Chains A and B, each alone.
Chain A
């Protein structure tokens, strides 16, 4: 099958790549760009392990075609840390032991980031609602929800600290 040239911004970098029109964005990320952090759990948009941000919106990358990334901004789990420093969410997932096998973790981190980006002060039901598209079979979600609530509180207090310093 003839390949198409696609240009997109992935984790802040402009990237050009070739992909077949039938390849999903998930397959393109994993097999063409070697960004294997996004995981395949179902390929039907039910498990959320492949969640990425597409122009800031959380989407299942298995339900988007690679060619649809043309001109778009995509953020994956590989872009969450800044120059080797983990984000607050990543640290809180580790502190709260929010992962066991870890296969769902990239998707949860992206969905949680998407929530906190638009709602810095979520309630527990709001967190549960925002993460309901991500399946985890190991944890019963308890420690994931706690980590996201704790990360939100941490990010807010950092923000307040910065405001006070100004």
Chain B
């Protein structure tokens, strides 16, 4: 089902061709990072801290070095001093010193799994044996696992350089305080007929990509290095690795391998600089691959959080005030997505008066990384639950309540500037008109919930080249690692502009030396921003084709037109010429044709989604079964509808896992107790129904094809939608994630007791 505001008569865009990299991926030929092997290659392993918080007194590597087959060991002593400063890197702000301290612990370990040393040996098994021979002496410190503990007066301090500017420059675990406000909150609440105030807690969760982090580093004696790895951003790996290694950016080439999922988690570096360091010490290529346990313990999950929300509405269902306090776990180093969360938490609604305070808090957990609409899912869980409750108080259908308050073009965003054309209302109406919403849900312990979500989407830098081959076919080269089928979209945009069959366009993801700078595959930006570069590059090729045809016909370029994949001379009866017919004349008319474009994309179109979910709760165990689920999302323009649906379904599935089962479970010593897929329980095939999709196409005026980007926002509403559905099923408002059987059962028993008591009192 699709509702479209784009009227363009596309031939390729909007169709569903087979992806160009498809055959390689169903035959096992596609090369992911861990599939690379080179002659003489060594294998690396990383020694990791068993403690959540400890000072490192000493590291002894002599015994390990003597093990036959061990070639080199590196510790933080092998890293240059990195600067303590803030720097923009793609979507994130990074501090090179903290980045370096995360790659290899300097004088302190800050979480269970923190890297301490890396070994290169002739086999991964020998490298692993060597880890056991490295002797580390620790002074164990009390672990700081939650924002509550971290912010208590006198709490153990994680980072000696972290100081609170708001509180007399004292040492602190609070890395950042953001505040957003508008209007008069007090007056707003006075005008409210209903006010709801609640506190929510969400657990730290992981992106859960199936492919562990990997890297092969090759350092040459001339000072040039090459890194092969699975990453969302080859250019970011290059610049971040250069910072950590103290190498010039231009001396590192990063070759992005096929990538086995990332969802934000592969936008930073872990093993990459270690592979180069070990290669430099040994003179051989060195490969490192994380185990699943290492991925969970020591890559970058997203923040657990504590969020207090107070919201008020008038009895006719108008939101009038919001007061919000939120604190996110950053992990061991500053940089949780709490700022983004704060800007998202009431973004879908017009609220005249609000005050939002948001805190970034360091704790003894792995440094968080981006995870699909970072920060927004936690936030929406809190606000969308309150909205549901206010709708109920007002006696208004939850979708109608949202429609009454929904933002539209011209309304102010939380940060101030007005929205351009957006599609929140259309997603709400899309759900209302869906077969799912129109169906009746009957039966005991069953409930239906709805929630909406917002995500900014990102622009940033992208480059593209379009090469026209000697036979009139083309290739399109970009620097965006393809994580979910985007190559097909790049080929489709090229084919659309040049009037070629999509099978005549070969899409390539190039290394950092072969294409202009391109920021991460993240922020839902590839089809939007890289797609914009591809569109412009194809248009550049088109312009050159027109010039060449004009030369052949001895006409001026403005006397030649390009349409339907053919060059037409205006006026006289010259028969049109196809690119295929023109291509053999390239050598005599000026040489090969290469269309080029680089953009720093403006005109980002925000994404909205609304999710409807039916659940059934087992009254004896508290287990929740998802019976039916529909997601409506505004794509702007769906270039390849199958992969747009795929993003919507995938984000929804991750959101459902977040809602029901997934959590980092630490013991009182700060040791992660569920660092495997058996106990970190992600949804399987059996846990989910088909996920129905409603693709809204409310064209983004900031993009030549109307594209918004679709990668992220679908993960935002499901947690709240499930909570709202559980409430309708069993009458319990869940205020924490995951809503797993033990937690829900406990809440249900408490609810039964309290209703019994009130019945007795009546």
Query: B-contacting residues of A (Cβ < 8 Å)?
Result: 1, 20, 22-23, 30-31, 34-44, 46-47, 49, 76-78, 80-81, 86, 90, 93-97, 99-106, 109, 127-129, 131-146
The distance in angstroms between the C-alpha atoms of A100 and B642, with both chains bound, is 10
Q: Is the CB of B125 within 8 A of A41?
A: no
**Extra 12 A-B pairs, beta carbons < 8 Å, given A97-B16, A97-B485:** A36-B31, A37-B29, A40-B212, A46-B676, A95-B18, A102-B25, A103-B210, A103-B261, A137-B208, A138-B261, A140-B688, A142-B649
Comparing B136-144, B392-400, B678-686, the segment that makes contact with chain A is B678-686
A sample of 26 cross-chain residue pairs with beta-carbon separation below 8 angstroms, ordered by A number, consists of: A37-B27, A40-B34, A42-B676, A46-B292, A47-B677, A77-B26, A95-B18, A96-B642, A97-B19, A99-B25, A100-B484, A100-B643, A101-B484, A103-B261, A104-B210, A105-B26, A109-B26, A127-B685, A129-B686, A131-B685, A133-B684, A135-B210, A140-B649, A140-B683, A142-B649, A142-B690
| In the assembled complex, B650 has its CB within 8 A of some CB on chain A | yes
Closest 8 A/B residue pairs (Cβ): A37-B28, A103-B260, A140-B653, A46-B677, A102-B25, A97-B642, A140-B649, A100-B484
| In the assembled complex, B340 has its CB within 8 A of some CB on chain A | no
Q: Is the CB of A102 within 8 A of B258?
A: yes
The CB with the most chain B CB atoms within 10 A, among A42, A80, A145, is that of A42
Q: Which residues of A contact B259 (CB under 8 A)?
A: 101
| In the assembled complex, B654 has its CB within 8 A of some CB on chain A | yes
Q: A44-B678, A144-B685 are in contact. Are A103 and B26 (CB under 8 A)?
A: no
Q: Which residues of B contact A36 (CB under 8 A)?
A: 28, 31-32, 34-35
- Of all chain A residues, which has the CB nearest B296? A42
Q: Which residues of A contact B28 (CB under 8 A)?
A: 35-38, 76-78, 106
Contact with A along B672-715 (1 / 0, CB 8 A): 00001110001111101011000000000000000000000000
| In the assembled complex, B134 has its CB within 8 A of some CB on chain A | no
| In the assembled complex, B22 has its CB within 8 A of some CB on chain A | yes
Partner of A86, one of B27, B685, B688: B27
* Minimum Cβ distance to chain B for residue A10 (Å): 13
* Minimum Cβ distance to chain B for residue A91 (Å): 8
The distance in angstroms between the C-alpha atoms of A81 and B22, with both chains bound, is 14
Q: Which residues of A contact B642 (CB under 8 A)?
A: 96-97, 143
Q: Which residues of B contact A80 (CB under 8 A)?
A: 26-27
Q: A47-B677, A94-B23 are in contact. Are A39 and B690 (CB under 8 A)?
A: no
Q: Is the CB of A100 within 8 A of B646?
A: yes
* Minimum Cβ distance to chain B for residue A8 (Å): 18
Q: Is the CB of A46 within 8 A of B211?
A: no
Contact with A along B466-510 (1 / 0, CB 8 A): 000000000000000001110000000000000000000000000
Count A/B pairs, Cβ under 8 Å: 179
Q: Which residues of A contact B686 (CB under 8 A)?
A: 128-129, 132
The distance in angstroms between the C-alpha atoms of A38 and B677, with both chains bound, is 18
The CB with the most chain A CB atoms within 10 A, among B292, B645, B650, is that of B650
Q: Is the CB of B650 within 8 A of A137?
A: yes
Q: Which residues of A contact B645 (CB under 8 A)?
A: 97, 142-143
| In the assembled complex, B419 has its CB within 8 A of some CB on chain A | no
Q: Which residues of B contact A129 (CB under 8 A)?
A: 685-686
The distance in angstroms between the C-alpha atoms of A2 and B692, with both chains bound, is 55
Q: Which residues of A contact B682 (CB under 8 A)?
A: 135, 137
The distance in angstroms between the C-alpha atoms of A142 and B648, with both chains bound, is 11
The CB with the most chain B CB atoms within 10 A, among A78, A133, A142, is that of A142
The distance in angstroms between the C-alpha atoms of A42 and B259, with both chains bound, is 16
Q: A37-B27, A101-B483 are in contact. Are A138 and B646 (CB under 8 A)?
A: yes
Q: Is the CB of B292 within 8 A of A101?
A: no
| In the assembled complex, B263 has its CB within 8 A of some CB on chain A | yes
Q: Which residues of B contact A105 (CB under 8 A)?
A: 25-26
